[in-house]
Structure 1
């Protein structure tokens, strides 16, 4: 009995503890306001860090675990929903393909031979022919790769691959003399049509009336959608809790647009942003530049690396209703950031007196295999409004779906996903800078702010500005480092090297090695910019100065900020300068042209050597600067994109987020590797190793100068 009584008492105690635990596990339901705020944060950042979670706890009066578990559950729920949607789409696609296969198999049973009218090949014969074609294709690909490799390494081309004439050309042997100079030797005359898309292999295709009607309808829908996004801000725009920028509320957007996602993978995301500025350019001139591919590239040289108008489907004298099909390639910052290719329909519509909408939207009507299928532009573009005194108000919207199949390096992930990548703000700050530059370039006299020992006329000043602009554009086009022969063994060491055959006008002809390296330094972008731009410190890192002091002999401002200018530099003349590498011109006959700028998102410093004779021609203004051969190198400077949560204040420019001070720096060189004098050595990996050593030593010197950390 005693034992039973003890057991009964124990059971009662356990029952009491369990009841207490159940009471403590009572679920806490979030209020609708809390859920709405958490949903908005989740759209901006599904993986908030500790600081962001603490901020939400204070704002919503929740426990840290509640916020943490809510985000975990939300991510799980979103993933499950995406997987279910993807499964439904795949099932439908699988059923469609199965039906098509059955129809084709049924049709093959009754097909006849077009040559003789007899019965078709049997399954065995067809499989044999397919296998034979695959083997032949593999053999041709192998032959082509060997031929391209031999050409770029300077080896003779085997006569079994090409005809005797090409084989004779293949006997050309190149010297390994590394040169920054302007050697005009054109070693190769042949080029390959393969590779990534270029303006040459993107060719117009005929359009049917149905295609034109579909393009017109697509453009009209895009314009109407942009009108709603421009003029009904409160309905579709929310302020990001991360950096205070405005992004599209996707739930509201999908209700009115009925948009469907083009990418269903877990790596896909949607980028949306809006920005506005007043720029010193007439609205009609800006609209005209938007509708001209060449002027479009000049207007955004650090974003648009390539562009071509494929079709013009409608136009008028006043640009009040224009429809175009355009291919463009966008690239920024670094070889570690993949380029984005778009085939878009662009519509310019005058919606009011002095007001235009320029709308861009991707389409699948004009298909090209070369166009990148990992990004899709939803209706995006700008609203251009006329203002007095030859000014314009420009409101810009970017709305893009991205599927990061070729993902950017981890150093640039946060920057691209924030407001500093391919965002509306980048388009706006670039537009502001270039409009200021065009305004100053139109001045026929030398402004009082400019200073020069060598530039004497307004035409000479304009010539130097054009030369600097061409350097920046050429440097940005080189940064993608695509369509060339790469050396992956150096990429593993943090240096990306590629070789190209240069035939571009205005650049030295021959074999050019491009080398780039990226590093992260723990100081602000402006500090990095100022230290690299300081010509007193240039001897610490620039091999062109040979350890000599560099003097500034001219400065031409290209914007209202003192950071935006073109400068002419000249190393001090000495008879005992140490020679780091051989140059075409004498070491005491060297000048450096440098173009630099700094804006809200970062900056760029681009420079190139020229001999003093060429410099005198450039500053005279008597020769078109586009005819001066020049090979630029330089730096891109950007914030690392990491922001901390903070309330808007005056010290922070009224923005919600502030940078943590880190900088992403890209160092890129272009070096000529060909000449006529020395033909005794063969171009091989030793030349590439020399270039790798050059850029590695330069990066180390820059790290010491900036007190930077190791490359991440």
Structure 2
């Protein structure tokens, strides 16, 4: 446009069969929040802020690591790749996945596997993706704040080794503290190998939904990134959470929870857990075992129960 701005017209037409959508998700879809323009506009706004991070030399950063300006850019690029990889694992895009277990929302996870061979930035071997969704009787914002709080992470994350985590680096595009890239390290006394691994995390949030994506990263590789080095070779296998408001009218909310937590207009949330795990590092002959399936199902169930217990949900 003449004033230097761009005008964008975006038309998104979606047709879906409501009968195959889980009943907990139908209000979200019928309200327009699932596929509506507001969601895409919110995503565009977040992406614009991210691009500002990549281009700006005055990014807001809180850290104790001596990260360089070019290091901030490399770290944000790495976090973007991590989030794309997480979404590809949860939504079964970008890769050829084989369905192992169909799953039933909240009761057992949907399990998919794929062989990763000679793919830069990925571990080699058999990758297992486990996903499930549960209804939570707490607001979207409260659930997001709980899961991204590094001081409370030990209440649900086994990678914390039973102790709080310390945020070493915090990169925020703008004033919204909920949208950021962080580098965490465990402070648990019983973690004898705490210097070998860090946690890279990206959080994104707006009124229509939130993402919390994280992965363990090698400390030597992250030192290269924080000094402005190329992040393309850093090996990632991310896990995380997606949170959306449930869109239920107050009179139609599920009643299998502590009702005191959903009084008022904040409502509940739909929480999707997505874990990606390397179950065999010997491609292409890698095979999925019954023990691996049981271990992942148990991990999903424990994580859900720990989150519910921490938030006092039945």
TM range (shorter): 0.7 to 0.9
Partner of 2:82: 471
Partner of 2:22: 409
- In 2, Cα distance between equivalents of 1:667 and 1:559: 27
Alpha-carbon contact 1:633-1:669 (below 8 Å) kept: yes
Partner of 1:435: 48
- In 1, Cα distance between equivalents of 2:202 and 2:137: 25
Partner of 2:281: 675
- Higher radius of gyration, 1 or 2: 1
Alpha-carbon contact 1:643-1:659 (below 8 Å) kept: no
Partner of 1:698: 303
- In 2, Cα distance between equivalents of 1:633 and 1:468: 12
Partner of 1:616: 223
Across the aligned residues of Structure 1 and Structure 2, the Cα RMSD in angstroms comes to: 2.6
Partner of 1:684: 289
Partner of 1:487: 100
CA displacement at 1:611 relative to structure 2: 1.9
Q: Which of residues 197, 202, 211 is equivalent to 1:604?
A: 211
Gaps of 5+ in 1: 1-353, 355-385, 579-585, 646-657
Normalized per residue, the structure richer in helix is: 1
- In 2, Cα distance between equivalents of 1:613 and 1:705: 34
Deviations 1:13-39 (A, max 9, x none): xxxxxxxxxxxxxxxxxxxxxxxxxxx
Q: TM-score, normalised by structure 1?
A: 0.39
- In 1, Cα distance between equivalents of 2:130 and 2:198: 22
1:50-89 pair list within 5 angstroms: none
The structure-2 alpha-carbon separation of the partners of 1:489 and 1:438, relative to structure 1 and needing over 3 Å to count, comes to closer
Higher relative contact order (CA 8 A, sep 6+): 2
Q: Which of residues 178, 197, 202 is equivalent to 1:563?
A: 178
Partner of 1:231: none
CA displacement at 1:496 relative to structure 2: 1.5
The structure-2 alpha-carbon separation of the partners of 1:613 and 1:392, relative to structure 1 and needing over 3 Å to count, comes to same
Alpha-carbon contact 1:642-1:659 (below 8 Å) kept: no
CA displacement at 1:673 relative to structure 2: 1.3
Corresponding residue pairs, total? 296
Deviations 1:542-569 (A, max 9, x none): 1111112210111001344111000000
Partner of 1:664: 270
Partner of 2:35: 422
Q: Stretches of 4+ moved more than 6 A in 1?
A: none
Deviations 1:660-708 (A, max 9, x none): 51100011110111236xx9x9742111111111111111111111223
Alpha-carbon contact 1:518-1:664 (below 8 Å) kept: yes
Gaps of 5+ in 2: 252-263
The structure-2 alpha-carbon separation of the partners of 1:512 and 1:661, relative to structure 1 and needing over 3 Å to count, comes to same
- In 2, Cα distance between equivalents of 1:560 and 1:419: 28
Deviations 1:127-177 (A, max 9, x none): xxxxxxxxxxxxxxxxxxxxxxxxxxxxxxxxxxxxxxxxxxxxxxxxxxx
Task: Say which SS state the counterpart of residue 168 (structure 2) adopts.
Answer: strand
Q: Which of residues 441, 456, 459 is equivalent to 2:67?
A: 456
Q: TM-score, normalised by structure 2?
A: 0.86
